[in-house]
Amino acid sequence: MRRFAKFLAVMVVLVLFAGCCALFQTPEAAPKATETEQTDSPGGDNLTPSAPPPGNIPTQDPQITPTDPEPTEDTPSNMPIVYAKDASIWIYYPESQEKFALTGSGSLSGLEGYFFYPKLSPSGVFVAFKQRYGEYIVLNLQDYSYERIPNGNTQLWSTENILGWDANDLLYVTRQTGACVFWQEPNSKITAVDILVYDPRARAIVDSFPLPQDAGNTGNSTGVGVSPSGRYITADPFWCGPEDDLVPYFVYDRQSGALYAREAGHTLIADNELWLAELDDSKLFEGGASEIRVRGIGEENARLTYRAANNGAILYSMN
């Protein structure tokens, strides 16, 4: 019996000792989040614009999945660079460091004249440019053959521009009806501006559509840019004659017919065709500052507002 009592006492002591030790043990750390665990990016779904209302629905539903950017190294583009120099069109290949004239005496195309405003196609196969007081020209960079797209203007001030290429290597240009001759009597005027869509592979105009006029209360409009899908046209209200460089651009949705415009500053569309950037200069004359607002297409409220620190601001492009 004594042995049993001693054994029982020893067990009690051990149990008490174990309990005391447990009280002084460091709590076990909670498991840390790993890279595979789902985490919310700052702002959550506020980075994804809601779908546009009926009448402004794109051909494909816009979907943006916010992701955390990964550090990457800049990779030089091997696409050629085309530019105008001394009334000729030149090309530069970054990979080989080679450059040469595409037009002018002794050039591979044999084209001579005053050329400007070159635009390279997304594939790098074609380059379009304009001849002064003449046609649009599309040059094939593989064999240096070319096609001419006639226009109706021979005056210095005109609405005929190269808007650019869409993602399918289709070229967008403008063609006007009438002419700006404001220095002669009687004055003539432009009555319409159409967008022509040219396929360099078929060597033909495959589509055309009118550009809205009387936009921005200026009487006429002309195209200056095209979105990658070809759905949205960036346009420029104009006066017949020399005009201010700050005439506000607007965006025209050729599918729904919607116009996105402000009277006091440029409106531009992003390459992904989901966002609009709007420049508001209306407060400058009151001693205020310019504001740039970014919003989703079909949304009323801006997602981002930038106020210029030094009163004025310039909106060049939106990528």
Residue 177: strand, helix, or coil: strand
Beta strands in 167-231 (DSSP E): 171-181, 188-199, 204-210, 220-226
- What are the residue ranges of helices labelled H in 112-222? none
In a domain, 136, yes or no: yes
Q: What is the DSSP letter of 32?
A: P
In a domain, 284, yes or no: no
In a domain, 318, yes or no: no
- Report the DSSP beta bridge partners of residue 83: 90
pLDDT score at 245: 53
Q: What is the DSSP letter of 241?
A: S
Q: Please answer whether residues 241 and 180 qualify as being in contact, where contact means their C-beta atoms are separated by less than 8 angstroms.
A: yes
pLDDT score at 177: 81
Phi, psi of 202 (to 5 degrees): -85, -15
Positive or negative, the CA dihedral 53, 59, 64, 70 is negative
In a domain, 101, yes or no: yes
The domain tally of the chain equals 1
In a domain, 127, yes or no: yes
- Local confidence pLDDT in tens for the 319 residues of the chain: 444 344 334 343 333 334 444 333 444 444 433 333 333 433 334 444 444 444 443 444 444 444 444 545 545 568 999 999 999 999 999 999 999 999 999 999 999 999 999 999 999 999 999 988 778 999 999 999 999 998 755 555 567 789 999 999 999 998 888 777 666 656 667 778 889 999 999 999 999 999 887 665 555 778 889 999 999 999 887 766 555 555 678 899 999 999 898 777 789 999 999 999 998 877 766 667 788 899 999 898 999 988 886 667 777 777 7
In a domain, 104, yes or no: yes
In a domain, 158, yes or no: no
Q: Beta strands 136-140 and 146-149: pairing type?
A: antiparallel
pLDDT score at 158: 60
Preceding omega of 54 cis (within 30 degrees of 0): no
CA–CA separation, 218 and 180 (whole Å): 14
Identify the domain containing residue 107 by its residue range.
Answer: 78-149
In a domain, 242, yes or no: no
Q: What is the DSSP letter of 37?
A: S
pLDDT score at 77: 67
pTM for this entry: 0.71
Q: Which of 218, 243, 305, 258 is nearest to 58 (CA)?
A: 258
